Amino acid sequence: MLRWQPKKLSRKLCLFAEIIALTFLLHAVVVFFFFVIFKSNNTPFHMEISKTAKKKQIIFVPGRIPVPQTTKKATQTPNAKSSSMIAKKNVAPPAKKIPPKKVTPQKSVAASKPNKSTTLKPAPQKQLVKKAVPRPPVKKAPPPKPVKKPEPIKKEVVKPAEKPKPQTEKKPEPIPVPVKEKENTVENLPLQQAKEEISANADEQVFDEDVVYVPLVLARMYCALQEEISSQWKPPVGLAKDLECQISIELAADGTVLKSAVNESSGVLVYDVAARSAVRKINFPRWAYGKEFTIAFKQ
Amino acid sequence: MTYSRTRSSLLIFCILFFQIIFADDNVILNVSAQQHQTIPLLLSVVGKNNKKMQKIAEVVTKNLEYSYQFTVVHKNYKTIPTKSDFEKMAADGIELAIFLSADVHGSVAWRLYDVSVPEMIKGGKSQSNRILRIMAYSISQSVWPLLTCQEGPFFTRIAYCKHLQPKGRRNRSVKHILLADYDGSNAEELVKNDTVNIAPSWNRDKELPLLFYSEVTQTNTRLVYTNLEGRRSVASNFDGINMVLSFAEDGDRAVYCASRGRGSSQLFYCAPGIFKQITNNKGINFSPVLAADGITVYFCSDFKKGYPALYSYNVKTGDFQVIADDAYCVSPAYSAKTNSLAYAKRVNRVLQLFVYDIARKTHRQVTFNNGNKEDCTWSPCGNYLAYGVSNSGKSRIAVFSLLTNKQKWVTHENEDCSYPAWSPIYSEYPLVRLA
């Protein structure tokens, strides 16, 4: 398959190696994007894919690791999501990969890398290995050898990790809790849960970051908000069909409309008035509190 | 399998990066209207609330609610409301308010307020008039464009023919010409001689309203015009028929049809210093209308198909075009406001109204209900069509709103009325002042 392929290696092994190389390359690109383009922004994202049924859509769910906070939160969210993925694929590598996070002093960088790798790559690799193992004779067992290599590393790693014992004791607790949450989210991501996730985790600074980092979920939220607005948007009949009125809205932290200004008037007083009236009637969802929007009211 | 997974993971990363890179904090939500509702509007008489002001407020209310765009709420104040009053109004869901107040010289002042700001958008005075409804029409006509950016139909009238049977003369029928307000109220007779008077049309001189119509005499059907005081003059008196005069927007050029004693009806074009025949065929050419440019004539003729079809003819270039000839088409009416042509076309044995967009060259059917619709005429604002609906031998006049697609009756069902002609907006309300 590959030109540099040694004669001893089987095709499957080469394929496996190739996949590893590809995934490594991908991760290199990911890291490059994060650290070069976003200037090492310390809030890595996490994503979850629902593949429960082939017909279902793939949904991206934002997972945010608030790095500046305590290590608990940083470890809980990624672990939970990765575990849900792994649970489906009947693989149990998370235990292996959690310890390196503890060891690494740079929490943000170290935590982000292994999480992604655990969620996406190890699972397919091991499935392949399992399928490959029964067919060939015992001699072709060596492929697991490289897998075993990290184990000694873990043993070494675990020793320094023993020092912060109180932290390690707490870690196993959060794992089962998020798994339940993910079972819900994987099958059917309810909008309300997504909102609650974000609103619960949101500090002021972090929330702004979410807007940038998690547009897919926000898009669903905005769709819900759009529906709410359109239910209130009832202009009078008989006006030109190409009218449009843009109103910018600033919501207070309690959800009341602080400011609403007509950015672009339609030129028809009644139309603008109807748009303003609609703004007053909108019941904004909790996640929208404290945010600014521009609503384009169209015929 | 593995390749597909790596590909899918690559795809996911790409999508994610794309989303991240193009994500924007400034979110614009586009919302389209799925429903419509009326806008609440406060109409308040400020100060003296006598019968005169009540009557004016009543008519203004009727005018504003005519198109189903506003719901008028009444509440009177002694003075112009304070800021706190405006806040209460806004809390009640009222966004706009009109305040009427009696002026010293018998006129009525009006003020349009944006309640939520609150500030006055514009104010003005209506002309003093002994007829209160005319003052109300004047106010409505002034306020309407501020609200909707459209012209209102309030300061206009509809002329139409009413079929009567004189007492003791059962064999003879007479048609009088009446003028009614835009909604059919306050009808009054303008032409009431003992003959058949049909096909009225208005001139375009804003200062001097004249009504042209055809009067059936013992020898011919002549074209006559009258002012609102009832003074009549003959405009065209050729042998045969002289009918359906249509003016261009400038009021200087006109076109009409006349048979001049021959078997066929031909079109004649009139302009300052010009009088010429523009058709010459063996068919019947009738119902001509002049477009805004004053040189394009739309008319009906059966010379080509054997049944009436719709054509256009450019007087300058001689360019001739077919507008609609796939079915029986009659009574075209031109609107300069919308640059479109309304006409009646036979669909499933019923004459229905169509609108032809001249710029886009598209036809659109606007009415679908029972009854033959004929002799349509545009309101000057271009939002309404008046026409006669004939059913079981009787004709009734209706107004169709192109805004709401709703039809309203203008005349009573017991009356036999036809040939509506919507007046343009004159400087004075076209009130009949017979001597």
CB-based contact (8 Å) between A205 and chain B? no
Specify the pLDDT at position B48.
Answer: 80
* Cα–Cα distance measured from residue A294 to residue A249, given in angstroms and rounded to the nearest whole number: 6
Q: Is B334 helix (H, G, I), strand (E, B) or coil?
A: strand
Specify the pLDDT at position B80.
Answer: 87
Specify the pLDDT at position B16.
Answer: 55
pLDDT tens profile A187-229: 334 445 555 555 555 444 444 444 444 456 667 777 888 888 8
CB-based contact (8 Å) between A234 and chain B? yes
Specify the pLDDT at position A293.
Answer: 82
Distance to chain A for B332, nearest Cα, Å: 24
Say if residue A59's pLDDT is above 60: no
Percent of chain B with pLDDT over 90: 67
pLDDT tens profile A267-281: 999 999 899 888 888
* Cα–Cα distance measured from residue B331 to residue B421, given in angstroms and rounded to the nearest whole number: 12
Q: Of A2, A22, A13, A1, which is closest to residue A121 (Cα–Cα)?
A: A22
CB-based contact (8 Å) between A273 and chain B? yes
Count CB neighbours of A183 within 10 A: 13
Question: What residues of chain A lie within 8 A of the CB of B37, using their CB?
Answer: 234-236, 274
| Beta strand pairing call for A292-298 and B372-378 | unpaired
Query: What average pLDDT does this structure show over B352-364?
Result: 95
Is the CB of B32 less than 8 angstroms away from the CB of A299?
A: yes
Specify the pLDDT at position A169.
Answer: 43
Is the CB of A226 less than 8 angstroms away from the CB of B31?
A: yes
Q: Of B189, B278, B193, which is closest to residue B228 (Cα–Cα)?
A: B189
A131 or B83, which is more confident: B83
State the pLDDT confidence band at B286, using cuts at 50, 70 and 90. Answer: very high
Confirm if A66 and A98 have CB atoms less than 8 A apart.
no
pLDDT tens profile B333-351: 999 999 999 999 999 999 9
Query: For testing the chain B interface, which of A221, A273, A282, A295 should be mutated: the one with the most B CBs within 10 Å?
Result: A273
Is the CB of B403 less than 8 angstroms away from the CB of A238?
A: yes
Distance of CA B403 to the CA centre of its chain: 11
Query: What average pLDDT does this structure show over B141-152?
Result: 92
Is the CB of B16 less than 8 angstroms away from the CB of A45?
A: yes
| Beta strand pairing call for B416-422 and B406-409 | unpaired
Nearest to A19 among B2, B29, B95 (CB): B2
State the pLDDT confidence band at A186, using cuts at 50, 70 and 90. Answer: very low
A222 or B288, which is more confident: B288
Query: What average pLDDT does this structure show over A43-55?
Result: 38
Question: What residues of chain B lie within 8 A of the CB of A276, using their CB?
Answer: 95, 116
Question: What residues of chain B lie within 8 A of the CB of A213, using their CB?
Answer: 20, 23
Specify the pLDDT at position A4.
Answer: 56
CB-based contact (8 Å) between A60 and chain B? yes
* Cα–Cα distance measured from residue A47 to residue A214, given in angstroms and rounded to the nearest whole number: 9
Q: Of A170, A154, A168, A45, which is closest to residue A97 (Cα–Cα)?
A: A154
Query: For testing the chain B interface, which of A131, A277, A293, A298 should be mutated: the one with the most B CBs within 10 Å?
Result: A277
Query: Does ipTM exceed 0.90?
Result: no
pLDDT tens profile A115-145: 333 333 333 333 333 433 344 444 444 444 4
Burial of A171 (0-12, 13-18, 19+ CB in 10 A): middle
Is the CB of B121 less than 8 angstroms away from the CB of A269?
A: yes
Percent of chain B with pLDDT over 70: 94
A84-93, A218-227, B15-24, B132-141: segment of lowest average pLDDT = A84-93
Specify the pLDDT at position A133.
Answer: 39
**pTM summary value:** 0.68
Distance to chain A for B395, nearest Cα, Å: 28
CB-based contact (8 Å) between B67 and chain A? yes
State the pLDDT confidence band at B207, using cuts at 50, 70 and 90. Answer: very high
| Beta strand pairing call for B340-347 and B372-378 | unpaired
Count CB neighbours of A222 within 10 A: 17
The structural domains of chain B, ordered by start, are 5-148 (3.40.50.10070), 157-422 (2.120.10.30)
What chain B residue is nearest to A37 in terms of C-alpha separation? B21
A121-130, A155-164, B209-218, B406-415: segment of lowest average pLDDT = A121-130
Distance between the two ends of chain B, CA-based, in angstroms?
99
Chain mean pLDDT for chain B: 89
Tell the residue number behind the tokens 């375009």, with chain if given: B204
Query: For testing the chain B interface, which of A51, A270, A284 should be mutated: the one with the most B CBs within 10 Å?
Result: A270
Specify the pLDDT at position A226.
Answer: 82
Is the CB of B6 less than 8 angstroms away from the CB of A22?
A: yes
Specify the pLDDT at position A201.
Answer: 53
Say if residue B57's pLDDT is above 90: yes
Specify the pLDDT at position B2.
Answer: 54
Question: What residues of chain B lie within 8 A of the CB of A270, using their CB?
Answer: 39, 69-70, 96, 147-148
